[in-house]
Structure 1
């Protein structure tokens, strides 16, 4: 425990540290806490005046996706929907969606030409939505979708806090490739359509209330919270220092978006991780948890696209904390799969997580993993932009290594 304390305190020291505040919580398969601590400040320049706690509300970004995948499996378990159902039969707004393949050249036309579309040639399934193989792609970082948005006069995007910001053409035929996008946001709408419940209400009733997690919501303002009450976003500058920044997410969104919209606390979120590690009750059966964590069969092009997304073009640009900064043959380090809720590493990481560990993260450098073989689940909370921060990676690798000294000694 002392080593974990020292690591967190080193990185969050207000005088010499490189991170304003972070929380790390790990639980065992029997629900026992292996470690839990918050260190530093909840404000970017707060010093010791505004201590971060395990109950500080934080925007968890794409850590929301795990909760939506669990919600999907709840409906599948009840027989209300199937993973391979075509969601266009559930969501009429997607019935006429197209695949965009390019633009006709015309520099004088609005947006620089006219888009070229293909009809969707097969179903868009719930399984594809939660595994990012549906053809949806986040719109603010894809050149073709940026050009389409300009041509179409779109005023909303993935950060608008509305489902309309997720409505745009697909970039490939469903099931043929992989790209990171708003599939889980649409999965949340499927849940609403099938259950007849607003998605926030569904999650409160079927996830957070059973877990006794009272501080998690899509709408913190409706709970009486203000921006001052939540963990502040810090921005790392070119010189490596941190300044108060602006969160890319709206504090008051219109829609409950299942891919990125939740605000939670480390204490709340680890209850979900611990429940899944222990077998799923009361949220899911153990059989459904097995399905949730099972690596999915992807088309060859999809598997290649997934690996490219995760590994990046260099160790420093990798999007995964699986790798050290420059291991030998790092791009071939291990086989990676995708399950219904995140990445699966198919080999042990020496001194750290075991094979078949499932993990995902959140844009402002949050992270979680569930290692069923090792009997441990953990989450790391912070709020630093931009994503894929090198200091966060070093910190999390040190924390994980120290944690497994405890786990493997038992």
Structure 2
């Protein structure tokens, strides 16, 4: 079965449908080489979008795909001398002076210990700072609820990111709110909202006409937005009762807040393939594609993805969240995303060593392979994150591109 037949079948209306609308885009240095969308913008028979085709300009909540643009923004500020990747951030972010490490609980009461090490932008961007996500870590969730704070994103950034650490910086790895803190540091040194900075330095220079943090001030994006779909525990699909991220967020979440579309996002990836990037100097681009973790943190990352522990008995965490990367593929992390470290890359017909990638909560995936000159973007609006069917679809797309079938 061809790739297109496979996704047409997966997104076809009916009881055998396994995916909501999907869009895929591939590119090289010269521009887009393949673009196709499948399915519709809603599976809800009562939605006006139920018969509207999914498209490359369909507006999407890109969630953690925001992180790449925030990392680029930080590196630009380093170039300008406004920020330093290795400086102690407690002067810019005085909230860090009172940070503590959560060690556990005595009954229902959280127990903390003093933080000994400094927190840097390099640690925040590579998820080795000690910050986690309350929604992903049961210990943090319990701590947050003990303070009467909501776990879900409400649009109040400080409420969302005011968390204790899980470990001393650079001693382990935990996916978390570090990049939201990095975005806040940028706001303080540039004296402007992250959205304004990003508009001036990434979005407008690249001609990204459907990308913004400010959904309600952009009726064109709101009108073009896809519905969200929920996969139930039995594997079936149903309309989601929520879009997950609040439409009226008052703050700019550097880790999760952007809306965009496939045609816009691929422009960032194409720019990073160029020898002469509009966004970053050659030195900054090398920093973006460099493994940044300590040996301890890298070991922790690979164990989280591929290790044998209670929540990962099937070994699927890496496969689900990394776009179907084969289990055991050695990886590291840069200031902008996950790096393939294995000598042979991800195997036959997959990305090379040094390829950079990450994902977004509603099952989006992006990847840049500078060695092969390939950039890929895949998007659903499907929850919960880490959907195996979506990861399989992205892996099938990647293989088809590398095999020259598309």
**TM-score, structure 2 length as denominator?**
0.91
> Does 1:293 find its partner at 2:292?
no
Cα distance in 2, alignment partners of residues 167 and 119 from structure 1 = 16
Cα distance in 2, alignment partners of residues 356 and 406 from structure 1 = 21
1:253, distance to aligned residue in structure 2 (A): 0.7
Name the residue aligned to 2:314.
314
Range with bigger deviation, 241-250 or 378-387: 241-250
Residue deviations 1:256-278 (CA, integer Å, cap 9, x gap): 00001111000000000100111
> Does 1:134 find its partner at 2:129?
yes
Verify the 8 A CA contact 1:65 1:184 in the aligned structure 2.
yes
Residue deviations 1:115-171 (CA, integer Å, cap 9, x gap): 3222211211010100111111101232322232233232x4351222221112111
Match of 2:378 among 380, 388, 392: 380
- Say what the alpha-carbon RMSD is for the aligned residues: 2.0
Verify the 8 A CA contact 1:69 1:341 in the aligned structure 2.
yes
> Does 1:63 find its partner at 2:101?
no
Q: In structure 2, do the counterparts of structure 1 residues 119 and 280 end up closer, same or farther at CA, with 3 Å as the change threshold? A: farther
Name the residue aligned to 1:344.
339
Verify the 8 A CA contact 1:134 1:183 in the aligned structure 2.
yes
> Does 1:13 find its partner at 2:12?
yes
Unpaired runs of 5+ in structure 2?
307-311
Q: In structure 2, do the counterparts of structure 1 residues 398 and 62 end up closer, same or farther at CA, with 3 Å as the change threshold? A: same
Verify the 8 A CA contact 1:135 1:170 in the aligned structure 2.
yes
Residue deviations 1:187-221 (CA, integer Å, cap 9, x gap): 10011011111110010010000000011111111
1:281, distance to aligned residue in structure 2 (A): 1.9
Range with bigger deviation, 276-285 or 56-65: 276-285
Secondary structure of 2:199's aligned partner: helix
Verify the 8 A CA contact 2:66 2:257 in the aligned structure 1.
yes
Name the residue aligned to 2:397.
399
Cα distance in 2, alignment partners of residues 186 and 174 from structure 1 = 14
> Does 1:253 find its partner at 2:270?
no
Cα distance in 2, alignment partners of residues 226 and 29 from structure 1 = 28
Cα distance in 2, alignment partners of residues 238 and 189 from structure 1 = 37
Cα distance in 2, alignment partners of residues 381 and 289 from structure 1 = 25
Verify the 8 A CA contact 2:208 2:264 in the aligned structure 1.
yes
Cα distance in 2, alignment partners of residues 212 and 252 from structure 1 = 25
Q: In structure 2, do the counterparts of structure 1 residues 149 and 297 end up closer, same or farther at CA, with 3 Å as the change threshold? A: closer
Verify the 8 A CA contact 1:40 1:48 in the aligned structure 2.
no
Match of 1:265 among 261, 264, 272: 261
Cα distance in 1, alignment partners of residues 23 and 73 from structure 2 = 26
Name the residue aligned to 2:309.
none
Cα distance in 1, alignment partners of residues 377 and 157 from structure 2 = 28
> Does 1:174 find its partner at 2:169?
yes
Cα distance in 1, alignment partners of residues 284 and 317 from structure 2 = 34
Cα distance in 1, alignment partners of residues 85 and 132 from structure 2 = 20
Verify the 8 A CA contact 2:170 2:293 in the aligned structure 1.
no
1:322, distance to aligned residue in structure 2 (A): 4.0
Range with bigger deviation, 192-201 or 303-312: 303-312
Range with bigger deviation, 87-96 or 251-260: 87-96
Displaced runs of 4 or more, over 4 A: 225-228
How many residue pairs were aligned? 390
Q: In structure 2, do the counterparts of structure 1 residues 141 and 315 end up closer, same or farther at CA, with 3 Å as the change threshold? A: closer
Q: In structure 2, do the counterparts of structure 1 residues 219 and 121 end up closer, same or farther at CA, with 3 Å as the change threshold? A: same
1:175, distance to aligned residue in structure 2 (A): 1.6
1:225, distance to aligned residue in structure 2 (A): 5.0
Cα distance in 2, alignment partners of residues 180 and 390 from structure 1 = 19
Match of 1:163 among 157, 160, 172: 157
> Does 1:335 find its partner at 2:325?
no
Verify the 8 A CA contact 1:157 1:166 in the aligned structure 2.
no
1:228, distance to aligned residue in structure 2 (A): 5.8
Unpaired runs of 5+ in structure 1?
106-111, 325-329
1:177, distance to aligned residue in structure 2 (A): 1.1
Match of 2:139 among 127, 139, 144: 144
